[in-house]
């Protein structure tokens, strides 16, 4: 008997709830408001997107704060570690205040080639990959300033994925 009563009670509750929903549909309340009284609704979708960004994204996507991608992080490790007789940083400086040494500085190399390729990031990545793999086959904007044959052919000592990581690291330095 107790079970029957519980069922009856449940049915009654469901009915009350349904009536409640119907009643609320009759009011002019905006269902998109989600009951959050702090949200101000606007007809302007751009304003809504801005409000969303302010509330949830804020400055998190500002370039200075962007997190370094894991692949780029390993690239940063590769440029500093020795392969054979050299590390990339034996001949190139990378970082603030860097200058040209045995090879051109690489801090701005992605930016320089992004300009050459009209901001096409894919072509810039491909070019950097080719250049690092085999410096002699892909003359660049600085080739004429340096004696030939200084930079080793890197695809002999780095896996393609490692060169890809280095490219990502260099791309992450672009402004
Ligand atoms: C023994 C010296 C030496 C080492 C080691 C070396 N490079 Fe170079 N690199 C050079 C020289 C010299 C040039 C200029 C020749 C050219 O651009 O054709 C150059 C050019 C470059 C360029 C083109 C720069 C531009 O402004 O066009 C990139 C990119 C580059 N190197 C990346 C690397 C990376 C990444 C490594 C490590 C994997 C590395 N290099 C190791 C000497 C070196």
Q: pTM for the complete prediction? A: 0.70
Q: How far apart are CA 93 and CA 60, in angstroms?
A: 29
Six token digits for residue 42: 């606007």
Q: Is position 168 within any domain?
A: yes
Q: What is the pLDDT of residue 157?
A: 93
> For residue 140, which atom of ligand 1 is closest to its CA?
27
Q: What is the pLDDT of residue 100?
A: 87
**pLDDT means over runs of 10, the chain (175 residues):** 50 48 45 47 75 64 63 94 93 86 95 96 96 95 94 94 96 91
Q: Report the interhelical angle of 160-172 vs 70-80 (nearest 10°).
A: 100
Q: What is the pLDDT of residue 98?
A: 79
Q: Is position 27 within any domain?
A: no
Q: Is position 101 within any domain?
A: yes
> For residue 113, which atom of ligand 1 is closest to its CA?
27
Best residue for ligand 1 mutational test, from 76, 104, 154 (most atoms within 8 Å of Cβ): 104
- Ligand 1 centroid distance, CA of 156 (Å): 14
Residue nearest to ligand 1 atom 24, measured at CA: 104
Q: How far apart are CA 50 and CA 69, in angstroms?
A: 26
Q: What is the pLDDT of residue 160?
A: 95
24 lines ligand 1 (CB under 6 A): no
Q: What are the helix (H) ranges across the chain?
A: 2-26, 45-52, 70-80, 88-91, 109-116, 121-133, 160-172
Q: What is the pLDDT of residue 49?
A: 75
Q: Is position 17 within any domain?
A: no
Q: Is position 7 within any domain?
A: no
Q: What is the pLDDT of residue 28?
A: 45
Owning domain of residue 126: 67-172
135 lines ligand 1 (CB under 6 A): yes
Q: Report the interhelical angle of 160-172 vs 121-133 (nearest 10°).
A: 130
Q: Is position 38 within any domain?
A: no
Q: Is position 36 within any domain?
A: no
CATH number, domain of 104, equals: 1.10.760
Q: Is position 16 within any domain?
A: no
Instruction: Give how many domains the chain has, as a whole number.
Output: 1
């Amino acid at each position: 008997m107790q079970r029957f009563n519980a069922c009856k009670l449940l049915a009654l509750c469901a009915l009350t709830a349904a009536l409640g929903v119907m009643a609320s549909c009759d009011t002019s309340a905006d269902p998109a408001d989600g009951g959050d009284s702090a949200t101000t609704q606007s007809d302007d979708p751009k304003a809504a997107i801005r409000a969303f960004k302010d509330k949830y994204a804020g400055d998190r996507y500002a370039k200075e704060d962007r997190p370094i991608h894991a692949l780029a992080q390993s690239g940063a490790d590769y440029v500093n570690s020795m392969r054979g007789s050299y590390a990339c940083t034996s001949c190139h400086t990378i970082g603030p205040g860097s200058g040209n040494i045995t090879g051109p500085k690489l801090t701005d190399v992605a930016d320089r080639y992004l300009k050459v390729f009209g901001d096409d990031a894919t072509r810039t990545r491909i070019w950097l990959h080719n250049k690092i793999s085999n410096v002699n086959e892909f003359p660049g904007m600085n080739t004429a300033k340096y004696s030939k044959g200084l930079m080793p052919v890197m695809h002999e000592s780095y896996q393609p994925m490692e060169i890809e990581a280095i490219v990502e690291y260099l791309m992450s330095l672009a402004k």
